[in-house]
Amino acid sequence: MKTVLEQAALCKAAAPALAALSTAEKNTALAALAAALETSAQEILAANAQDLEAGRAAGLRPALLDRLALTEDRVRAMAEGIRAVAALPDPVGQTVRGSVLENGLEVSQIRVPLGVVGIIYEARPNVTADAAALCLKSGNAALLRGGKEARNSNLCLGRIMGEALTARGLPAGALQVVEDPDRSSATAMMELTEHLDVLIPRGGAGLIRSVSANSRVPVIRTGEGVCHIYVDAAADPVMAADILYNAKCSRPSVCNAAECVLVHQDVAERFWAAALPRLAEKNVELRADAATLARLPGAQPAAEEDWDREYGDYILACREVAGLDEALAFIAAHGTGHSEAIVTQDYAAAQRFLNEVDAAAVYVNASTRFTDGGCFGLGCEIGISTQKLHARGPMGLEALTSTKFLVRGSGQVRV
């Protein structure tokens, strides 16, 4: 069994060759990856069955087992996802800016791969295929460390995809799935400053905070989403109820789902009349402040920690506010900088909300669920950054690149 350090060294050694691949070579390799997954579907499902059996024996929650489980359809979807990445424009080599200086020097800034991308994620085998495809398309070597509950599935996927790549002449370091996915391997990755150019943690808030706090490798924080819907005094109550229902209930487990609604006191009665029946469709549990409790006898009283919870479930924190100022201050104090929305017909309120909320995505009259690389036209995403450096919001292929300046001269020296 190779150590994380040995695998990272393979990645680093492979990076220059990957950076030099043409778009056509990368797309052909991606097609080979997709075909290999489909051809080896039974083998993948057998490996996954081992993980599922161990997971059931260990008492994993049904939601986790569902994320872990592969089916023929899901394997096909992974292959299709890889083909979709192949169809995206190649960011490498794009000119970001360029000009000829007064002295005749031709300066251009072009996109280049980051080099080696490390990703730490949960027990979701589909991420292994997604991440491999996105890293390859952007010319990066990938060191992937999935959750240990998916170890057999991930190693199987890594071997099949790795063989498809080496059969096409690509180096083994193009894709390395960490062979020993215990906790110490994640810790080891955080120390590999000589090997990794970036480390991206994907998954629960605990993992992300721990990696951000402890990694010596530069980190991109992703995905913690305590998102708010603010229903302004000038909101259309029915539109607000629709948006809240969608933001809370269309997929409660994801990071762009709403966790808290802030309701202006002047619209609260009309809003709740529209929203309660919608939320009742999914039996959403409401945890409310005193003012809201007075209107909604069926709600539970919210505890202080409810204002900072990412439930990932059919639970909603509810709070009444006296105005936009209070809503903005509350979001500044309790938001995670992911996605925030106002529902209003008041132009000035909309403008203030857009300008003053400090988050990756700020919405007027739309559901926070649109914060997604696919929805925003980036084609795909490696995660949603909630930090401000390098990338913020959905990260597509560009977020996996850096730049370099090329300077072509004819003997110029600086005076």
Cβ neighbors of 392 (< 8 A, separation 6 or more) are 360, 385, 386
Residues between 205 and 224 with contacts to a second copy, criterion CB under 8 A: 212-213, 216, 218-220
Stretch of residues binding a second copy (CB under 8 A), selected from 34-42, 152-160, 174-182, 398-406: 398-406
Residues between 172 and 191 with contacts to a second copy, criterion CB under 8 A: none
CB of 107 to a second copy, least distance (A): 6
CB of 75 to a second copy, least distance (A): 25
Beta bridge partners of 320: 263
By CB under 8 A, the count of residues binding a second copy is 68
Cβ neighbors of 49 (< 8 A, separation 6 or more) are none
Stretch of residues binding a second copy (CB under 8 A), selected from 77-85, 172-180, 275-283, 406-414: 406-414
- Evaluate whether 240 touches 292 at the Cβ level (below 8 Å): no
Cβ neighbors of 81 (< 8 A, separation 6 or more) are 126, 129, 130, 133, 380
CB of 360 to a second copy, least distance (A): 6
Stretch of residues binding a second copy (CB under 8 A), selected from 176-184, 305-313, 319-327, 386-394: 386-394
Q: Which two tokens stand for residue 39?
A: 């051809």
CB atoms within 10 A of CB 407: 11
Residue matched to tokens 């579907």: 41
What mask, x for binding a second copy by CB under 8 A, covers residues 365 to 384?
A: xxx-xxx---xxx-------
| Closer to a second copy by Cβ: residue 2 or 408 | 408
Residues between 245 and 264 with contacts to a second copy, criterion CB under 8 A: 245-247, 250
| Closer to a second copy by Cβ: residue 185 or 367 | 367
332 binds a second copy (CB under 8 A): yes
397 binds a second copy (CB under 8 A): no
**Strand ranges for 170-305 from DSSP E:** 175-177, 198-201, 227-231, 258-264, 285-288, 300-301
Cβ neighbors of 124 (< 8 A, separation 6 or more) are 67, 68, 146, 147, 150
- CA distances to 111, 168, 169, 316 from 26, in Å: 16, 10, 11, 44
- Evaluate whether 250 touches 282 at the Cβ level (below 8 Å): no
Q: Which of 9, 214, 28 is nearest to 116 (CA)?
A: 9
CB of 143 to a second copy, least distance (A): 16
- The C-alpha torsion from 370 through 376 and 380 to 386, rounded to 10°, is -70
Cβ neighbors of 374 (< 8 A, separation 6 or more) are 380, 381
Stretch of residues binding a second copy (CB under 8 A), selected from 39-47, 169-177, 239-247, 296-304: 239-247
The 3-class SS string of 14-25 reads HHHHHHCCCHHH
| Closer to a second copy by Cβ: residue 247 or 321 | 247
243 binds a second copy (CB under 8 A): yes
354 binds a second copy (CB under 8 A): yes
193 binds a second copy (CB under 8 A): yes
CB atoms within 10 A of CB 325: 11
Residues between 94 and 123 with contacts to a second copy, criterion CB under 8 A: 99, 101, 105, 107, 109, 112, 114-115
What mask, x for binding a second copy by CB under 8 A, covers residues 265 to 294?
A: ------------------------------
CB of 409 to a second copy, least distance (A): 3
What mask, x for binding a second copy by CB under 8 A, covers residues 11 to 40?
A: -----x--xx--------------------
- What's the CA gap between 385 and 401, in Å, rounded? 15
| Closer to a second copy by Cβ: residue 294 or 375 | 375
| Closer to a second copy by Cβ: residue 9 or 161 | 9
- What's the CA gap between 151 and 182, in Å, rounded? 10
262 phi and psi angles, rounded to 5 deg = -110, 125
The H or E element spanning position 305 is none
359 binds a second copy (CB under 8 A): yes
Cβ neighbors of 348 (< 8 A, separation 6 or more) are none
Binding site for a second copy (CB under 8 A): 16, 19-20, 99, 101, 105, 107, 109, 112, 114-115, 193, 197-198, 212-213, 216, 218-220, 236, 239, 242-243, 245-247, 250, 332, 350, 354-356, 358-367, 369-371, 375-377, 387-390, 392-393, 402-414
